[in-house]
Structure 1
């Protein structure tokens, strides 16, 4: 169930760049609304399923603060990059965290990858490289967008590690609610300082961004992080570039080449391999329920 939740959550997150482009507000403001509008939904869902939000102890609050900082910085950089490059590239570079988080899991387990895991990592890397094939043809302005998305991916790694640590002692929805609240409080002053448009003319896409990316996508991701090894989580997140490339093709006419399709197939094969039984990788820490 955790792996299925992760696949669904990752797929929902892949539609985020499209929603950001259509939000009708500045990139940082879009990040603020993504977090702020999700809060009442997360609060109600948490109470309904028996995970009421409560203030954690000081040490856990500091950890959540770090998670919120990394996530807010990730959203600010990534949303800016989304407007400056292709949807597939923005998602791909933003998901450099997939490999970084997988490496963190292997370091945590104090082990080298098994042959199956090594093959999965190699296939995922090849698939990512194939999906990036069009980057060399991009303009300088779009390359700036790629760099912003890459920076966002590194920041997102910090967020994933903080969430993984927090899931050992806090249920997923309270953790997500608190980190979202802290992150929203960080993003609104930044959006105002940058002079961005804050209020959208049409609320449709900011609500879809909040519900799809934060409530559904992040909600399922935070749940899955408490039940799956980082290697599996990291590689599964690489489904996002392939889905975003399809969204870019459908919504904006961004070309999909044979190499793009081959890259998506390689990532799919990597997911099959990484789910096969293998020894030597420590499972995820037990999570609060």
Structure 2
């Protein structure tokens, strides 16, 4: 049998990228429910973040135990171990600041500011991985960020917000950008399941250490409270962030971070349905502009 035609390889590459894009987009949608579950939590911001990572670690550990990839079950190189720990700490910082921001600003506002991370990720990807931004990417980035800002501004008019919550969300964005860049580097070494398990376990340990120093309850008091943090860990992280990690191997990290701007759109819609936070015409227009930006910025061949 002769060599495979070049067009077949190109078609496979296109198919792989399409599957990766679908994984990141669906993961972003699932992660968009995270602030909803966090709002329903009965414990404080840091304990909620700890439970998120603890439940995610349990689910991911079970998944990893069932996968037939023993060589990826534990990190081997010291540098990889350090990076896995760093990924966990970066995500712990993101969660700590993000969950604190939810107490001081609207769901849509907090989610938007956290997802300004694509700007930081684009700069980091250029510096670290040589992913030089193209003109269509920069144009799409401008459209998507403008749409997300419009979406959030429309929501903020009807929800009391504070500077403290906004600053906490910006700090979370910085940690999230560092997390995504580290994830991209590690995705070349580990499977998505292994990467998510080890980084989640590191984040859970860090958040537990902080939670134990706080003078507030660590455990929920009702089944509803436990269900909220369990759903936060399983849907918002194990599934949501796990799918994002799965897609990172095939997609540029800068564009993957841009697709994550779907989170404020999903969060705003869910907040409207569950918390009765007004979903205005401006938010819908902002959402359409955001989607247009994703189309413009998509990776070309």
Q: Same fold (TM over 0.5)?
A: yes
Q: Deviations 1:132-169 (Å, cap 9, x if unpaired)?
A: 32447764x63321211111011111111111111121
Q: Distance in 2 between matches of 1:26 and 1:129?
A: 28
Partner of 1:228: 251
Q: Secondary structure at the match of 2:162?
A: helix
| Structure 1 runs not aligned, ≥5 long | 279-289
Checking the alignment, whether the CA contact within 8 Å between 2:125 and 2:181 is kept in structure 1 is no
Shift in Å, 1:111: 6.5
Residue pairs, 1:1-289, within 5 angstroms: 1-52=19-70, 53-108=73-128, 110=130, 113-134=133-154, 135=156, 139=160, 142-201=162-221, 202=223, 203-275=226-298, 277=300
TM-score between the two structures when normalised by the length of structure 2: 0.86
Shift in Å, 1:217: 0.7
Structure 2 CA distance for partners of 1:186 and 1:112, relative to 1, 3 Å: closer
Checking the alignment, whether the CA contact within 8 Å between 1:8 and 1:220 is kept in structure 2 is yes
Shift in Å, 1:29: 0.6
Q: Distance in 1 between matches of 2:165 and 2:292?
A: 29
Q: Secondary structure at the match of 1:193?
A: coil
Q: Is the deviation greater in 88-97 or in 255-264?
A: 255-264
| Structure 2 runs not aligned, ≥5 long | 1-18
Shift in Å, 1:115: 3.2
Partner of 1:286: none
Shift in Å, 1:129: 2.3
Q: Distance in 1 between matches of 2:271 and 2:239?
A: 21
Q: Distance in 2 between matches of 1:159 and 1:113?
A: 20
Q: Secondary structure at the match of 2:119?
A: helix
Q: Is the deviation greater in 104-113 or in 264-273?
A: 104-113
Q: Deviations 1:189-222 (Å, cap 9, x if unpaired)?
A: 2112122211112211111111101210111111
TM-score between the two structures when normalised by the length of structure 1: 0.90
Q: Is the deviation greater in 228-237 or in 110-119?
A: 110-119
Q: Distance in 1 between matches of 2:162 and 2:276?
A: 16
Q: Is the deviation greater in 246-255 or in 10-19?
A: 246-255
- How much is the aligned-residue C-alpha RMSD, in angstroms? 1.8
Shift in Å, 1:276: 5.6
Q: Secondary structure at the match of 1:175?
A: helix
Checking the alignment, whether the CA contact within 8 Å between 1:131 and 1:264 is kept in structure 2 is yes
Q: Distance in 2 between matches of 1:256 and 1:9?
A: 23
Partner of 2:13: none
Q: Distance in 2 between matches of 1:74 and 1:12?
A: 17
Q: Distance in 2 between matches of 1:165 and 1:277?
A: 22
Shift in Å, 1:65: 1.2
Q: Distance in 2 between matches of 1:185 and 1:268?
A: 37
